[in-house]
Amino acid sequence: MPEPPTAVDPSIFRRLMGRWATGVSVVTARHGTADGGLTVNAMLSISLHPPSVLVALTSDADTTPLIEQSRVFAVNLLAADQRPVSERFARTIPASEKFRNLPVHRGVTGIALLDGTLGAAECRVVAWIPQYDHVLVVGDVVRQEVGRDAEPLLFFRSGYASVDGADRLSLPPRHPS
C-alpha cells in the first residue's frame, strides 16, 4: 500500500521552491488584434528535436485565453537591465498599459516581441494540459531570434537577482540546452 500523502505546508513549499533560481521571461500573445503578455519564470526548453518549450500559466491570467484561442505564443528572455519590464508584465493591469511606450517588433506570428531581450522564440501550441490552477503549455518553436549577449535577469528567493561572475560551463554535446 502506498503511504498516504503527508501534510505539506504550502508556505514552506514556496520557500523551498524559492531556492530554485530561474531566468525571467515575458510570454507574449496575440489573438486577432488583441496583444497580451505576462511575466513567467516557469519556462523550460523540452527538446532540441524538435525545438520545443514548456510554460506553466495560471488559468486566470488574462493572457492565457489569448494563447488558448490563437494557439501561438512567444517567450522573450529578459536581460538584467529589463527588471522594470518584468515588473510591468507581472502587474494586473490592462494589456494596453503593459505595452505603452514599449519598443517591440512583430514576429511571423504577428505577436509582439520585446526589443532589447536576450532573444525570443515564437511557438505553436502542440499540447495544452490543464493541471490544478495552472495550464502547462507546450510549444514547438516556429521562429527564433538570438538577441543581446548580456547578463540575464534572474529570480531567486522570491526576488530579483543577477549573475555575479558566472563560469561558462562546457556541456557535453547531448545536453538539451
Ligand X SMILES: Cc1cc2nc3c(=O)[nH]c(=O)nc-3n(C[C@H](O)[C@H](O)[C@H](O)COP(=O)(O)O)c2cc1C
Which residue ranges make up the site for ligand X (CB under 6 A)? 24, 36, 38-42, 56-58, 61-63, 86, 89-92, 155
What CA–CA distances, in Å, run from 31 to 133, 138, 139?
A: 22, 18, 16
Cα dihedral 146, 87, 41, 108 sign: negative
Q: How far is the CB of 37 from ligand X (least distance, A)?
A: 7
Q: Which residue has the cell 526589443?
A: 115
Nearer to ligand X, 96 or 170 (CB): 96
What the block records as the C-alpha cell of 164 is: 555575479
Nearer to ligand X, 131 or 170 (CB): 131
Q: How far is the CB of 105 from ligand X (least distance, A)?
A: 21
Nearer to ligand X, 5 or 84 (CB): 84
H or E element in which residue 73 lies: strand 72-77
| Identity of the amino acid at 81 | D
Q: How far is the CB of 153 from ligand X (least distance, A)?
A: 9
β-bridge partners, 25? 40, 77
Nearer to ligand X, 21 or 174 (CB): 21
Q: How far is the CB of 94 from ligand X (least distance, A)?
A: 8
Could you tell me if 124 and 57 are in contact, meaning their C-beta atoms sit under 8 angstroms apart? Answer: no
Q: How far does CA 40 lie from the centroid of its chain?
A: 4
| Identity of the amino acid at 68 | E
Identify which of 31, 34, 177, 59 has the alpha carbon closest to the alpha carbon of residue 128.
Answer: 59
Nearer to ligand X, 6 or 33 (CB): 33
Q: How far is the CB of 32 from ligand X (least distance, A)?
A: 16
